[in-house]
Chain A
């Protein structure tokens, strides 16, 4: 089955830019979606179709996808962005929803 690889953790200082990667074979050929999950809460969709933002998600959140890596970028990071972030795709060959293992974003 298709595997998505995320770094377990990313740390960034307030006001700086955080980049969270999601690796997969030819992931650029798939649509990647990103979710934010804060402790004790349900996931929240922050990016869909690689780079689209749902209403209510700040413009500070952006996404890109090419080759073997998709990236979630969070600019001007603040303490409220501390959370786990998960990438997700639909894998046609296995007909399954696949998640990355998740990345814990820490704001220093």
Chain B
């Protein structure tokens, strides 16, 4: 069974940093892109960024709204992807999801359950 499970969410002060983890199982992790998304309360889905597989040189791409504050990495030996976000703002408050992606089509077929990040003083 394919599983992705986000962790690391919680309450963060503005200006601080967070690191979310996405350990995965049930598939050949190293062969897939892993992407991060977020969804603010009552809002739609927003793409944060992704990291491709080794076959695509572990390329990273980031959404315009977070570029410069975000870094996505992965450890294929442990089947884990990470999201590092710096200089947190209240508008970063959202549920953050990781998802498995298909590199050729950029669609995302398995999602984690999400982790809530709240940025507030």
Interface residues of A (CB under 8 A from B): 1, 31, 33, 35, 37, 41-45, 48-49, 54, 84, 86, 88-90, 94-102
Q: Would A43 and B105 be within 8 Å (CB), given that A96-B61, A99-B47 are in contact?
A: no
CB-CB under 8 A from B108, the residues of chain A are 33, 35, 43, 45, 88
A44 to B105, CA, bound (A): 16
Q: Would A48 and B107 be within 8 Å (CB), given that A95-B61, A96-B61 are in contact?
A: yes
CB pair B45 A49 closer than 8 Å: no
Whole-angstrom distance between the Cβ of A23 and the nearest chain B Cβ: 15
CB pair B112 A86 closer than 8 Å: no
CB-CB under 8 A from A90, the residues of chain B are 105-106
CB-CB under 8 A from B45, the residues of chain A are 35, 37, 43, 86, 88, 99, 102
Q: Residue on B with the closest CB to A102? A: B44
10 residue pairs, one from A and one from B, having the closest CB atoms: A90-B106, A97-B47, A33-B107, A42-B111, A48-B107, A102-B44, A99-B45, A45-B109, A101-B44, A86-B45
Interface string of B75-110 (1 = CB under 8 A from A): 000000000000000000000010100100111110
CB pair A31 B63 closer than 8 Å: no
CB-CB under 8 A from A94, the residues of chain B are 64
Q: Would A97 and B35 be within 8 Å (CB), given that A42-B97, A48-B107 are in contact?
A: yes
A–B pairs, 17, beta carbons within 8 Å: A1-B64, A33-B107, A33-B108, A35-B108, A42-B97, A43-B99, A48-B105, A48-B109, A49-B105, A86-B44, A86-B45, A88-B108, A94-B64, A95-B61, A97-B47, A99-B45, A102-B45
